[in-house]
Amino acid sequence: MPDDFAQQPPSPPPPPPNFGGYAPPPSPYPYAASYRPLPPRQNRSPWFYVLAIGGSFAAVCLVLWGMGWLALRSLPGYNNNTSGLGLGNNQIGVIDVSGVILSADAINTPLRKFGDDSSVKAIILHINSPGGGAAASQEIYHEVLRIRKEKHKKVIASVESVGASGAYYIASACDRIYANEASVVGSIGVIMEWMNYGDLLKWAKLKNVTITAGELKDAGDPSRDLTPKEQAYFQSLVDNMYTQFVHDVASARDTTDEKIKPLATGQVWTGKQSLSLGLIDRVGGFRTALIDTAREAGINGEPTVIRPQKNKRTLFSLLNDDADDLFPNPGQLLNRAPGFYFMWK
């Protein structure tokens, strides 16, 4: 009987792996039988280097394009609301006169830039304002007249919802005034106001101490009522400004003071009423004013609208502002001097 349990010879080790026809030589060391060498490093295709170099070049071009785009945005004539890049010769400059008018610089600065730019064929003041400071409104009025006279450019006013008092003062200096039928127009008049907190001081048991030289030096002191002489004094100032308002509107509208005075009651009219009263020239919105102005300036096709670049306030600029701009001192609310306004309220 054969010995079934006879010791069998050991099985030969498995052949080493073949990597692409490459077989490593047998190792003289028994522990190297489990070692599996890494495959040889293959040579990269030439297309790999073409794509790598091309991708790097495209990335550099993208960065340069972005830098050029940011530089273009900083140009005065560029604006996101334009239909072009602001570099052609068929441009209409549009300046928004919105909110209460407190400073003339915000309007006069772009007015001067558009006036000096030969590619800007005409200027439209897009008005939506109840007016504002008397002096600021008057200063913009004279700048509009100067642009028309010295630069020989059309300046058109387009009233959106409100073009009253100081805003109408500015509009009257333009070559033509557009308004919608339901727009509010007019309010030719002057108002002077301030806050009287005398009763508040009495309640708080405080006294205002003022030393002056000159009978009317402290006229308008908000801690007390006006005297009859102070009342007459301020009324004379308001009347004088009112006369200037009426005369300037009449002069710019090519009419007489006598024809404007009946309309200078401080009241407003709709755009439809204003047309028959001679306060505006045409009924129509901004689009109508834009197309009419473009055709008159010799622009064929769709005009390019450019607006002044707006200064965006960043978090860094807010943190560097004066703290009083962010959190007004309560004492400043009481220190409010009398002001003269061409404003509809």
Q: What is the CATH number of the domain that holds 101?
A: 3.90.226.10
Note down the domain range covering 238: 91-309+336-343
**What pLDDT shows up at residue 85?**
42
Helices 105-116 and 134-150: angle between axes, nearest 10 degrees: 10
Q: How many domains does the chain have?
A: 2
Residues 123/115, Cβ–Cβ less than 8 Å: yes
**pLDDT tens sequence across 18-64:** 555 555 566 555 555 555 565 666 666 666 666 777 777 777 777 77
**What pLDDT shows up at residue 12?**
63
Domain match, 59 and 129 both: no
**pLDDT tens sequence across 121-145:** 999 999 999 999 999 999 999 999 9
Q: Rounded to two decimals, what is the model's pTM?
A: 0.70
CA distances from 221 to 137, 193, 215, 334, 338 (A): 26, 12, 12, 11, 8
Rounded distance between C-alpha atoms, residue 262 and residue 269, angstroms = 13
Cite the active site residues: 165, 217
**What pLDDT shows up at residue 165?**
95
Angle at 188 between CA 179 and CA 282, to 5 degrees: 20
Query: Is residue 328, in this structure, part of any structural domain at all?
Result: no
Domain match, 169 and 280 both: yes
Q: Where are the beta strands (DSSP E) in the chain?
A: 91-98, 120-129, 131-133, 154-164, 176-179, 184-186, 191-193, 268-270, 282-283, 304-306, 339-343
**DSSP β-ladder status, 268-270 and 184-186:** antiparallel
Domain match, 206 and 176 both: yes
**What pLDDT shows up at residue 84?**
39
Query: Is residue 125, in this structure, part of any structural domain at all?
Result: yes
* Residue at 112: amino acid letter: R
**What pLDDT shows up at residue 226?**
87
Q: Is 81's pLDDT higher than 70? A: no
Element (H, E) at 107: helix 105-116
Q: How confident is the model at residue 337 (pLDDT cuts 50, 70, 90)?
A: low
Domain match, 117 and 252 both: yes
Rounded distance between C-alpha atoms, residue 78 and residue 115, angstroms = 16
Q: Where are the alpha helices (DSSP H) in 176-301?
A: 198-203, 228-252, 257-260, 271-277, 286-296
Rounded distance between C-alpha atoms, residue 145 and residue 107, angstroms = 13
Q: Is 331's pLDDT higher than 50? A: no
Question: What is the pLDDT of the chain when averaged over all its residues?
Answer: 81
Q: How confident is the model at residue 214 (pLDDT cuts 50, 70, 90)?
A: confident
**DSSP β-ladder status, 339-343 and 191-193:** antiparallel
Q: What is the DSSP letter of 333?
A: H
Q: Is 96's pLDDT higher than 60? A: yes
Query: Is residue 300, in this structure, part of any structural domain at all?
Result: yes
Query: Is residue 25, in this structure, part of any structural domain at all?
Result: no
Domain match, 59 and 96 both: no
Domain match, 65 and 147 both: no
Rounded distance between C-alpha atoms, residue 118 and residue 122, angstroms = 10
**What pLDDT shows up at residue 161?**
95
Range from 69-78, 85-94, 97-106, 255-264 carrying the lowest mean pLDDT: 69-78
Q: Is 170's pLDDT higher than 60? A: yes
Q: Is 90's pLDDT higher than 70? A: yes
Closest CA to 307 of 75, 71, 81: 81
Domain match, 54 and 117 both: no
Mean pLDDT within 300-314:
80
What's the half-sphere exposure (Cβ side, CA atoms, 13 Å) at 259?
A: 12
Angle at 209 between CA 206 and CA 213, to 5 degrees: 165
Higher pLDDT, 185 or 221: 185
Domain match, 254 and 130 both: yes
**What pLDDT shows up at residue 79?**
46
Domain match, 235 and 127 both: yes
Terminal CA-to-CA distance of the chain, rounded, Å? 127
Query: Is residue 295, in this structure, part of any structural domain at all?
Result: yes
Q: Is 307's pLDDT higher than 50? A: yes
Domain match, 139 and 107 both: yes
Q: Is 82's pLDDT higher than 50? A: no
* Phi/psi-derived region of residue 46, left when phi > 0, alpha when psi is between -120 and 50, beta in every other case: alpha
Query: Is residue 32, in this structure, part of any structural domain at all?
Result: no
Domain match, 195 and 235 both: yes
Query: Is residue 52, in this structure, part of any structural domain at all?
Result: yes
Rounded distance between C-alpha atoms, residue 61 and residue 306, angstroms = 28
Domain match, 65 and 172 both: no
Query: Is residue 11, in this structure, part of any structural domain at all?
Result: no
**What pLDDT shows up at residue 13?**
61
**In which residue are the tokens 């642009």 written?**
147
> What token pair was written down for 254?
């090519």
Range from 76-90, 138-152, 267-281, 289-303 carrying the lowest mean pLDDT: 76-90
**In which residue are the tokens 């002191």 written?**
221
